[in-house]
Structures are given as structure tokens and as C-alpha cells.
């Protein structure tokens, strides 16, 4: 244990960038609380952030360097990587190698990776999983502002009178921002929220109006809005004339779209359009928040441009409570953008196409070369891996085999690549299993550096644990390889502070206010000050007082004439479905898992919320397909098929499906949804279209359904379906069999090693085809297994709880076999509040007693009173009991 007392750090999950206080405890655990002084969250944390202390175990960690699966010394591993990259560059040129990095790594890591590839290798073949997250926002910002700037800050979301959420499920994906808006709305009753999203997500609970727009209808909607603002005299002529160019052309293009075009492309009713347009037109303080629903699209940049056009046209930008606001998915997507971690950018917000910028960066680095043109963006990069152009690939802190579109093809490409290095914290991921060289990285709590959140706030991630085994910082991996490739001069860093100093110095180098990103005031920062660095928003130029600021209220953009650019947007219909694949598949996140689950799946608390991959489908579609809730379904298209559980809900529109993006081969048999996503990208940003995919869905009827809880991890092989999650003191799994079995004992022994030495208690109802068995080790439940011709009807939360309880007598054991609650141990139902382990049945019981507010549920059950992430779900449960109170 490194730290003796509380350490202020930053959450490693979403782009909100919440401050966390981590306090190592005597027993080796770590207590986690929100940092009340951090301006991103003022003490709040969501369910994922609150559970950080439960994700720190060394189980599954990669602790030593490996080559071909064998442990080797660091020197050997680094030498091997340096040699393979050097040989590829010598024989095939600099563009024959590539880095694929991540919004999970720290700014210091990112800076060194980018410097090595662009300044020393001489290629721009470095891209990042942030390409999948917010590249369209970057492209939109650069088109309009001449640079990649988020103009506003989180306070704007609280000060706005209208918050428009576009393609953004804040309640689940950025819960602390959701809570901040919810609190502001509660305090300022006139404040309104409009949600624009094809799905009725939990965020709709906060919205005065939900516009269930067609996928990719957003650009048409905001073009229609621009026309409406013009027609109703709401334009800010002074701002347009003084601070922009291109307005007439943008307006003309917007006007070319008839009202009928807008109705057709958005799928909205005329009254819905009017309501939204009038609200926007007549509210001065408007913030438009957008995230993956806008960005992950084949026309994502156009959507961003259409949104920004409306803010520029009304001069509602850079002032308190006003502006377009892109919110990023990852903890350091912004930091990556700042250091030029995308294949089409240079460090410190400089442009790779600009010869002056290239010369400046090369001069500052004293590097032998500089990349002269854009490198390969993520999807193209893996195409180049697949067709043999890339001979050596280094993947850091990300899992492209699961997260990139056409993921099976990406896996084949990685398998075929002559040399693959993976730096990661985890021993087993779907990507690292194909690595020639594995390099063990520091995890959250061990690594030390800076990250930037969605409001341009740079915060320290600090170490409070020692790195286990031989784990090392990502920047160290890179610098040591660079030195072994002969680049000793540029990579002799003593620590992260030295890298940060250099980065800050580059940001001010020949800047003279020509570039927005300037943190030159920190270019001489010493180690001690770096260690104590408080969160701050950039810019922080040298020689000027530190002020937290917004951009662009008074113009001064970063284009050659310092004016903004209206962008001409010409939306068209984006129907993707056809007779073979008639459903629109939308992919996204759930509340309690993060990305490919390498950390969040370690905690039973987070896994209790949604323990299995699922497909949301509208009741009318389910009826037509003969599907019932909890049936298994196969979702497929020409690229592949996945098997997941059906979740029948009217929050989906008919003809539309939603499947989460988290599940990998580590936790489910066939649930990698990105195998279905086409490698179709936005023409400007290169960001894949992950939310508008044509698929078919059908019932998948196995011979038998099964459910198991066990204290040891079950091992699945040829079963037709399985999905595994942690629970209580062990594991739970749903599974299905292609062939009937009546030997429940043998099946249990096959799935769980630990059952072998114990005689099971078996129950069987041959008429209904149901079989159950439970194995006990004294009073302890080893495993309980249930088989049924239909989806198994037992209480998952009860059985998860029973796993950790003593079973002293026949009644206790009978309760396990029954899988049903009784008066002694009631059934909580599916877990809603992960912090206090409160289930839907408990909330419903309180609601049935006449209590209809979220606050009362909190008073009675504690649910929703800690991190608050479940408050919208509690509201939804109450609404089912009290539809009128919900209005």
C-alpha cells in the first residue's frame, strides 16, 4: 500500500471526470468517496464511481511481461518490441507500423505515444478508441471554430433555461451531469429539458418533452430549426456579421429542406417540431448537449455542424447558460485530443495539414522527422492491419476485438498481423489473447498523471497503491522502446511531471494567442507542484492571471480571419433497413458497466443491475415474432449473429432494437454486438456509425434453459448460450443447451469443478420437465442448478443472496431448491439500487402502500440516497403505480 491517508484523484470511467477521494484502509481495502471540492462533481459519484474500491483486486491482472505466453524480463520484452518495429520501418517504411491507443491512458502516456509515432517514426498511424466516441464532435468543432474547443463548462448546464439533450442518455452514461441538471431543474422550476433520442431512455424521466426522432434525423431537425430561427426573427445579426462567415449558404441549404422533408427525416409530428422550435427560439439561455447518439453516425459531423450553426446564428455561445456542449464518453478523450492522439491532429491542438505547425512541432521536439499527412483512422487502420500493410501494431489499454465495427474481421486482422504488442492491465481480454508481446501496465490507483474532462478541466489522477508485480506506466513502456529504437534524446523522462512540463511548454511555443490550447503557465512546474496540482480549466497561458473561462462569446475564433464558419449541411434520409434485415439496431451503454467490463464486471454490486446481455424490443414486434419477455433471441445480419435475452419494452419504437456494447467473450457466449456493426464511417471524422445498423431478430429456442449460482466460476464450453456475472460471494450464470439432458448432477459437475466431492440434493418434476440440484459443503451452498424447457423461473437476487448464507436445516436447503422467496427471506426482485442492494419488488411494495415520491423511497429503503444513479429508475417504477403523479 503506497498511501497512508486520503488521496485526491479522478474517476477513470466517463468524461464527466469526477473527483474521487481514495483512502486505503488497514485491511487492504480502499474507501471511496466523491471529492466535495472537485468542480466536476462537488462530492457526487455515480454507481460505477462509488464501486471503484471493489475493482482493485489483482485477480485477472497481467503482472509480468510475456512473449508468446512465456514470462520474460522487461529488457527482453522491450528489446523485442523495439527490434520488430525498427525492422518493419527499415524494410517497409514508417507507415508499416501503427499504434492504437485509448481514452483510458493518461495525457502523459498519450503525449509520449504521439511524439514517438509522429516525430520519430515519422508516421501519423496513431489512432485511438476515442475515434469511436467523439471524433465527429472534433471534426465539427474544427470546421466551425478552426480548433477543437468545447466552448462552455458544466455550470452552463445548471444556468440554462433550456437544456436540449441530443442522442445523450445522461442518466446512465454521465450520471453526475444528469444529477446536476436534475438538481438545477428542481431549484429553478422554469428550467426545461428536451430529450431528442429514438429511445425513451431513463433520461426521459427528466425531460419535459421527448422527441423520439428517427435515427440520424438530427441534422434535418437542426436545419429546420435554423430556418425557423430565421423566419421568426430570432437571429443575432450583429454576431453573425461580426464573428462569422458562411451564414447565407448555410441558411440557404437549411431552407432547401421543406417542412415535409424535416418531418420525413425526423419521423416527428408537426406539433412536436413546433413545440421544440418555439422553445429554442424563445429561450435565450440554451445549452445543447450531445454525445454518442450524435457522434456515432455516418453523418455525425453534419449533425454537430447543424447544432453549432443554430448557436452561432443566435449568438448563444460562450456566455453563461448558453452554447453547444459535446460531452465525451471516456475519462481522457479530451486529453488525447489535446496531445494530438488522433491520426489527423498534431500535438497541442496543431494541424497536421499546416506546414508551419509541423515545422514548429518538429523544431520543439528536435525530432528527426515529422509526419506530413494524416495517418489511418481506426477503421481504416484495422483494414490496413487486415490487408498486410501494417507489419507491427501496438495496442494500449483498449479492446478493439470487441469495440470496433465488424469486430470479427478486426479479430482476424489482429490474428494475421505479423507482430502485435498489447499493453494492458488485464491478463485475459478478447484482444490480448492474440498478442505476441504482452506488457503489464499500471491500473487506476497505481498510475499517476493528468486527465481532461468534457469541460476542459485538467485534473490529476494520483497513485495510492504500488504497482503490483512488474507493472509499469504506459509512458515508460513507450519511452523505453523509443530509446531502444535509437531515440535516446527525446525520451529520457524522469517522471510524468517532466512529460507534463514539456507538453505545457509546447502549448505555449510560438503561440502568441494563435492557438486555443495554451497551458504555458505550467511549463516550469516542479514535481511537488505537479503532485499538488488542483483541477483547472485550460487555457492557462503564461503571464496572465488564471481565470476560468468560456470561449467565443466575443468572437475570436482560431481560423485565419478569426471568424467562425457556418457549415452548409444538406441532410438526406438515412434508412438502412431492407427486406432481409428489417430492424434498426442501436448500440450503447448501460448504467453499471463500463466499456468491455474489464473492471466493472469484477464487482457483484454493479453486475446485479443488469447481469446478462439483452435486446430491447417493442411489444408489437415481439408479438409478431412470437417472442415473450426473457426468451432468447438471435440478432443477425450479413456480418454475423449474436444471442442475447429479449427484453420486451415500449421504450423502443416498433422496428427498433437496442443491445448494449459491453459484453465480450469473457462474460458471454455470443454477445459481442460490434460484430454486427458495419464498418461504415462519417466522411469527415472517420467515426463509425454504431447506432443505425440493419439486422434481423428471431426467437432462438434451445432444448433446455438453465440457471446456476455457484461459489466458483462455472466453466462453459459447447453450451448453446451462456452469460456469466459475479454475484454475492460467487457467480451466477444463465445458459441454454442444444440437447436435452436429464442428468442434472453430471451437468453440475461438468460446469463447476467444486461440486464433485458433494452429494447433491435433487428435485425433478418430469411432467413439467424441470430439474434442480443443489450441492452443500456443510452449511455452505456450493452451487445450485436449475433446468427448464422455458426460461428458468427462479429469483436470481434471492439465489445470489443465498449463496453467501448458512443453510443449517432442511428448510433452508428446500428454499434453495425452490429458488423462491418466503416470509423469512423475501424476494427483492431485480436490483435497482446497487449501493444499498434494493430490488424492484421492495420499491414496488413501498409504492403500493401509497408512497409516490423518490424521496419517500429513499427514506424507507435508502435506495437512491447515495450515488443517485438509480433515481430515474425508481421514478419509472413509481410511475407505473401512479401515472398521474408522474405528470
Q: Could you give the CA distance from residue 492 to residue 761 in angstroms, rounded to a whole number?
A: 65
Sole window of 11-19, 84-92, 803-811, 872-880 interacting with ligand SF4 (rule: CB under 6 A)? 11-19
- The nearer residue to ligand SF4, 316 or 589, going by C-beta atoms, is 589
- The nearer residue to ligand SF4, 332 or 685, going by C-beta atoms, is 332
In the complex, what is the shortest distance from the CB of residue 129 to ligand SF4, in angstroms, rounded to a whole number? 16
Sole window of 6-14, 521-529, 532-540, 718-726 interacting with ligand SF4 (rule: CB under 6 A)? 6-14
In the complex, what is the shortest distance from the CB of residue 525 to ligand SF4, in angstroms, rounded to a whole number? 25
In the complex, what is the shortest distance from the CB of residue 843 to ligand SF4, in angstroms, rounded to a whole number? 22
In the complex, what is the shortest distance from the CB of residue 590 to ligand SF4, in angstroms, rounded to a whole number? 12
- The nearer residue to ligand SF4, 174 or 807, going by C-beta atoms, is 174
- The nearer residue to ligand SF4, 41 or 636, going by C-beta atoms, is 41
Cis peptide before 414 (omega within 30 of 0): no
Q: Please pick, from the candidates 7, 9, 13, 135, the single residue that binds ligand SF4 as defined by CB under 6 A.
A: 13
Sole window of 7-15, 120-128, 375-383, 782-790 interacting with ligand SF4 (rule: CB under 6 A)? 7-15
Q: Which of 596, 581, 663, 649 is nearest to 621 (CA)?
A: 649
Q: Could you give the CA distance from residue 277 to residue 265 in angstroms, rounded to a whole number?
A: 16
Q: Please pick, from the candidates 16, 81, 223, 647, the single residue that binds ligand SF4 as defined by CB under 6 A.
A: 16
In the complex, what is the shortest distance from the CB of residue 43 to ligand SF4, in angstroms, rounded to a whole number? 11
In the complex, what is the shortest distance from the CB of residue 174 to ligand SF4, in angstroms, rounded to a whole number? 6
Name the closest residue to ligand SF4 (Cβ).
49
In the complex, what is the shortest distance from the CB of residue 52 to ligand SF4, in angstroms, rounded to a whole number? 8
- The nearer residue to ligand SF4, 174 or 732, going by C-beta atoms, is 174
Q: Could you give the CA distance from residue 18 to residue 46 in angstroms, rounded to a whole number?
A: 9
Q: Which of 735, 737, 657 is nearest to 702 (CA)?
A: 737
Give whole-number Cα distances, 777 to 167, 629, 693, 743, 781, in Å. Answer: 51, 35, 49, 21, 6
In the complex, what is the shortest distance from the CB of residue 673 to ligand SF4, in angstroms, rounded to a whole number? 21
3-class SS letters over 796-849: HHHHHHHHCCCCCCHHHHHHHHHCCCCCCCCCCCCEEECCCCEEHHHHHHHHHC
17 binds ligand SF4 (CB under 6 A): yes
Sole window of 9-17, 310-318, 488-496, 648-656 interacting with ligand SF4 (rule: CB under 6 A)? 9-17
In the complex, what is the shortest distance from the CB of residue 16 to ligand SF4, in angstroms, rounded to a whole number? 4
In the complex, what is the shortest distance from the CB of residue 186 to ligand SF4, in angstroms, rounded to a whole number? 19
- The nearer residue to ligand SF4, 676 or 870, going by C-beta atoms, is 870
- The nearer residue to ligand SF4, 453 or 523, going by C-beta atoms, is 453
Enumerate residues 642-681 that contact ligand SF4 by CB under 6 A: none
- The nearer residue to ligand SF4, 214 or 591, going by C-beta atoms, is 591
In the complex, what is the shortest distance from the CB of residue 33 to ligand SF4, in angstroms, rounded to a whole number? 11
Q: What angle do CA 513, 514, 517 make, to 5 degrees?
A: 75
Q: Could you give the CA distance from residue 817 to residue 827 in angstroms, rounded to a whole number?
A: 15
Sole window of 15-23, 360-368, 560-568, 574-582 interacting with ligand SF4 (rule: CB under 6 A)? 15-23
Q: Please pick, from the candidates 7, 18, 286, 442, the single residue that binds ligand SF4 as defined by CB under 6 A.
A: 18
SS3 340: coil
Residue entry with cell 458471454: 668
Q: β-strand 209-211 against 345-346: which pairing, if any? A: unpaired
182 binds ligand SF4 (CB under 6 A): no
In the complex, what is the shortest distance from the CB of residue 181 to ligand SF4, in angstroms, rounded to a whole number? 12
In the complex, what is the shortest distance from the CB of residue 559 to ligand SF4, in angstroms, rounded to a whole number? 33
DSSP state letters, 342-395: STTEEGGGEETT-HHHHHHHHHHHT-S----S----HHHHHHHHHTT--SEEEE
Q: Could you give the CA distance from residue 546 to residue 324 in angstroms, rounded to a whole number?
A: 24
Cell, residue 176:
453526475
Q: Could you give the CA distance from residue 501 to residue 503 in angstroms, rounded to a whole number?
A: 5
Element (H, E) at 694: strand 693-699
In the complex, what is the shortest distance from the CB of residue 344 to ligand SF4, in angstroms, rounded to a whole number? 27
Q: What angle do CA 89, 93, 95 make, to 5 degrees?
A: 95
- The nearer residue to ligand SF4, 290 or 583, going by C-beta atoms, is 290
The burial class, CB within 10 Å (0-12 / 13-18 / 19+), for 745 is: middle
444 binds ligand SF4 (CB under 6 A): no
Sole window of 14-22, 442-450, 579-587, 758-766 interacting with ligand SF4 (rule: CB under 6 A)? 14-22
Q: Could you give the CA distance from residue 8 to residue 762 in angstroms, rounded to a whole number?
A: 52
b/e burial code for range 379-401 (CB count within 10 A of at least 16 → b): bbbbbbbbeebbbbbbbbbbbbb
Helices 74-92 and 474-484: crossing angle in degrees, nearest 10, is 60
DSSP state letters, 727-773: ETTEEEEEEEESS----HHHHHHHH-GGGTTSPPEEEEETTTTEEEE
Q: Could you give the CA distance from residue 137 to residue 304 in angstroms, rounded to a whole number?
A: 6
Q: Is the dihedral of CA 462, 468, 474, 480 positive or negative?
A: positive
Contact (Cβ atoms closer than 8 angstroms) between residue 846 and residue 861: yes
- The nearer residue to ligand SF4, 351 or 450, going by C-beta atoms, is 450
Q: Please pick, from the candidates 11, 281, 576, 693, the single residue that binds ligand SF4 as defined by CB under 6 A.
A: 11
Contact (Cβ atoms closer than 8 angstroms) between residue 783 and residue 774: yes
- The nearer residue to ligand SF4, 171 or 785, going by C-beta atoms, is 171
Contact (Cβ atoms closer than 8 angstroms) between residue 504 and residue 364: no
- The nearer residue to ligand SF4, 174 or 501, going by C-beta atoms, is 174
Residues contacting ligand SF4: total by CB under 6 A: 14
- The nearer residue to ligand SF4, 13 or 475, going by C-beta atoms, is 13
In the complex, what is the shortest distance from the CB of residue 179 to ligand SF4, in angstroms, rounded to a whole number? 8
Enumerate residues 34-93 that contact ligand SF4 by CB under 6 A: 41, 45-46, 48-49
- The nearer residue to ligand SF4, 317 or 451, going by C-beta atoms, is 451
Enumerate residues 141-180 that contact ligand SF4 by CB under 6 A: 174-176
In the complex, what is the shortest distance from the CB of residue 137 to ligand SF4, in angstroms, rounded to a whole number? 18
b/e burial code for range 414-430 (CB count within 10 A of at least 16 → b): beebebbbbbbbbbebb
- The nearer residue to ligand SF4, 48 or 234, going by C-beta atoms, is 48
Q: Is the dihedral of CA 233, 238, 241, 247 positive or negative?
A: negative
- The nearer residue to ligand SF4, 14 or 482, going by C-beta atoms, is 14
205 binds ligand SF4 (CB under 6 A): no
Cell, residue 112:
509520449
Q: Which of 683, 669, 763 is nearest to 715 (CA)?
A: 669
Q: 69: which residues sit within 8 A by CB, 6+ positions away?
A: none
Q: Which of 578, 608, 566 is nearest to 590 (CA)?
A: 608
- The nearer residue to ligand SF4, 13 or 394, going by C-beta atoms, is 13
Q: Please pick, from the candidates 7, 14, 193, 720, the single residue that binds ligand SF4 as defined by CB under 6 A.
A: 14
In the complex, what is the shortest distance from the CB of residue 46 to ligand SF4, in angstroms, rounded to a whole number? 3
In the complex, what is the shortest distance from the CB of residue 536 to ligand SF4, in angstroms, rounded to a whole number? 17
- The nearer residue to ligand SF4, 383 or 592, going by C-beta atoms, is 592
Binding-site ranges for ligand SF4 (CB under 6 A):
11, 13-14, 16-18, 41, 45-46, 48-49, 174-176
Amino acid at each position: 500500500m503506497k498511501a497512508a491517508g486520503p488521496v485526491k484523484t479522478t474517476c477513470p470511467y466517463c468524461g464527466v471526470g469526477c473527483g474521487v477521494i481514495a483512502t486505503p484502509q488497514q485491511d487492504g481495502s480502499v474507501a471511496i468517496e466523491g471529492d466535495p471540492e472537485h468542480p466536476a462533481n462537488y462530492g457526487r459519484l455515480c454507481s460505477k464511481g462509488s464501486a471503484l474500491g471493489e475493482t482493485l483486486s489483482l485477480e485477472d491482472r497481467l503482472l509480468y511481461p510475456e512473449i508468446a505466453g512465456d514470462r520474460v524480463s522487461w529488457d527482453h520484452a522491450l528489446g523485442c518490441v523495439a527490434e520488430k518495429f525498427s525492422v518493419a520501418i527499415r524494410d517497409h517504411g514508417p507507415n508499416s507500423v501503427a499504434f492504437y491507443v485509448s481514452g483510458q491512458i493518461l495525457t502523459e502516456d498519450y503525449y509520449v505515444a504521439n511524439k514517438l509515432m509522429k516525430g520519430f517514426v515519422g508516421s501519423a498511424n496513431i489512432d485511438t478508441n476515442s475515434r469511436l466516441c467523439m471524433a465527429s464532435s472534433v471534426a465539427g468543432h474544427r470546421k466551425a471554430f478552426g480548433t477543437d474547443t468545447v466552448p462552455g463548462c458544466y455550470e452552463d448546464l445548471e444556468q440554462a433555461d433550456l437544456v436540449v439533450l441530443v442522442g445523450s442518455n445522461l442518466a446512465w452514461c454521465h450520471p453526475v451531469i444528469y444529477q446536476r441538471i436534475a438538481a438545477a431543474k428542481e431549484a429553478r422550476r422554469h428550467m426545461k429539458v428536451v430529450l431528442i433520442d429514438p429511445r425513451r431512455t431513463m433520461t426521459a424521466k427528466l425531460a419535459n418533452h421527448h422527441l423520439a426522432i428517427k435515427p440520424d434525423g438530427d441534422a434535418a431537425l437542426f436545419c429546420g430549426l435554423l430556418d425557423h430561427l430565421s423566419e421568426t426573427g430570432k437571429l443575432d445579426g450583429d454576431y453573425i456579421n461580426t464573428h462569422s462567415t458562411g451564414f447565407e449558404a448555410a441558411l440557404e441549404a437549411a431552407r432547401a429542406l421543406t417542412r415535409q422533408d424535416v418531418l420525413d427525416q425526423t419521423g416527428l409530428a408537426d406539433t412536436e417540431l413546433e413545440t421544440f422550435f418555439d422553445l429554442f427560439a424563445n429561450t435565450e439561455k440554451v445549452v445543447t448537449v450531445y454525445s454518442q447518439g450524435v457522434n456515432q453516425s455516418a453523418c455525425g459531423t453534419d449533425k454537430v455542424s447543424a447544432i453549432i450553426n443554430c448557436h452561432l446564428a443566435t449568438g448563444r455561445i460562450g456566455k453563461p447558460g448558453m452554447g453547444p456542449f459535446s460531452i465525451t464518453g471516456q475519462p481522457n478523450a479530451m486529453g488525447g485530443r489535446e496531445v494530438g492522439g488522433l491520426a489527423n491532429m498534431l500535438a497541442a491542438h496543431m494541424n497536421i495539414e499546416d506546414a508551419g505547425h509541423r515545422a514548429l512541432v518538429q523544431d520543439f521536439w528536435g525530432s528527426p522527422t515529422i509526419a506530413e499527412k494524416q495517418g489511418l483512422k481506426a477503421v481504416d487502420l484495422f483494414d490496413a492491419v487486415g490487408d498486410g500493410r501494417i507489419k507491427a501494431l501496438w495496442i494500449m489499454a483498449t479492446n478493439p476485438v470487441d469495440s470496433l465495427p465488424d469486430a470479427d474481421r478486426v479479430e482476424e486482422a489482429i490474428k494475421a498481423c505479423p507482430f502485435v504488442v498489447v499493453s494492458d492491465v488485464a491478463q485475459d481480454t478478447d484482444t490480448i489473447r492474440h498478442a505476441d508481446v504482452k506488457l503489464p501496465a499500471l491500473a487506476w490507483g497505481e498510475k499517476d498523471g493528468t486527465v481532461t474532462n468534457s469541460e476542459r478541466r485538467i485534473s490529476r489522477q494520483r497513485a495510492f497503491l504500488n504497482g503490483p508485480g512488474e507493472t509499469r506506466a504506459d509512458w515508460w513502456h513507450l519511452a523505453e522502446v523509443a530509446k531502444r529504437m535509437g531515440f535516446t534524446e527525446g525520451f529520457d523522462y524522469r517522471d510524468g511531471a517532466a512529460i507534463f512540463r514539456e507538453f505545457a511548454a509546447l502549448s505555449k511555443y510560438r503561440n502568441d494567442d494563435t492557438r486555443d490550447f495554451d497551458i504555458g503557465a505550467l511549463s516550469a512546474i516542479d514535481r511537488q507542484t505537479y503532485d499538488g496540482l488542483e483541477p483547472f480549466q485550460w487555457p492557462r497561458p503564461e503571464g496572465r492571471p488564471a481565470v476560468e473561462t468560456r470561449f467565443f462569446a466575443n468572437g475570436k475564433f482560431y481560423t485565419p480571419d478569426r471568424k467562425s464558419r457556418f457549415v452548409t449541411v444538406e441532410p438526406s434520409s438515412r434508412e438502412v433497413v431492407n427486406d432481409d434485415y428489417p430492424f434498426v439496431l442501436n448500440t450503447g451503454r448501460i448504467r453499471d458497466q463500463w466499456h468491455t467490463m474489464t473492471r466493472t464486471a469484477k464487482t457483484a454490486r454493479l453486475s446485479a443491475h443488469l447481469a446478462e446481455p439483452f435486446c430491447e424490443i417493442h411489444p408489437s414486434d415481439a408479438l409478431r415474432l412470437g417472442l415473450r419477455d426473457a426468451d432468447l433471441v438471435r440478432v443477425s445480419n450479413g456480418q454475423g449473429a449474436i444471442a442475447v435475452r429479449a427484453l420486451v419494452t415500449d421504450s423502443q419504437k416498433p422496428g427498433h432494437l437496442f443491445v448494449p456494447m459491453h459484453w465480450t467473450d469473457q462474460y458471454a457466449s455470443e454477445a459481442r454486438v460490434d460484430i454486427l456493426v458495419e464498418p461504415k464511417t462519417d466522411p469527415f471524422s472517420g467515426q463509425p456509425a454504431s447506432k443505425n445498423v440493419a439486422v434481423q431478430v428471431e426467437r432462438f429456442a434451445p432444448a433446455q434453459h438453465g440457471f446456476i449460482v455457484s461459489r466458483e466460476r462455472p466453466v462453459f464450453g459447447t453450451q448453446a448460450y451462456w452469460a456469466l456475472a459475479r454475484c454475492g460471494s460467487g457467480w451466477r450464470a444463465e445458459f441454454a443447451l442444444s440437447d436435452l439432458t436429464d442428468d442434472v448432477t453430471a451437468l453440475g459437475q461438468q460446469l463447476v469443478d467444486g461440486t464433485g466431492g458433494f452429494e447433491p440434493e435433487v428435485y425433478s418434476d418430469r411432467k413439467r420437465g424441470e430439474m434442480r440440484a443443489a450441492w452443500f459443503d456443510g452449511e455452505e451452498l456450493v452451487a445450485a442448478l436449475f433446468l427448464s424447457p422455458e426460461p428458468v423461473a427462479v429469483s436470481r437476487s434471492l439465489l445470489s443472496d443465498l449463496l453467501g448464507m448458512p443453510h443449517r436445516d432442511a428448510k433452508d436447503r428446500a428454499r434453495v431448491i425452490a429458488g423462491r422467496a418466503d416470509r423469512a427471506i423475501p424476494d427483492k426482485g431485480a436490483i435497482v439500487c446497487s449501493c444499498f442492494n434494493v430490488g424492484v419488488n421492495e420499491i414496488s411494495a413501498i409504492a403500493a402502500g401509497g408512497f409516490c415520491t423518490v424521496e419517500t423511497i429513499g427514506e424507507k429503503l435508502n435506495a437512491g440516497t447515495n450515488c443517485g444513479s438509480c433515481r430515474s429508475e425508481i421514478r419509472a417504477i413509481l410511475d407505473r403505480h401512479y401515472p398521474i403523479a408522474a405528470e
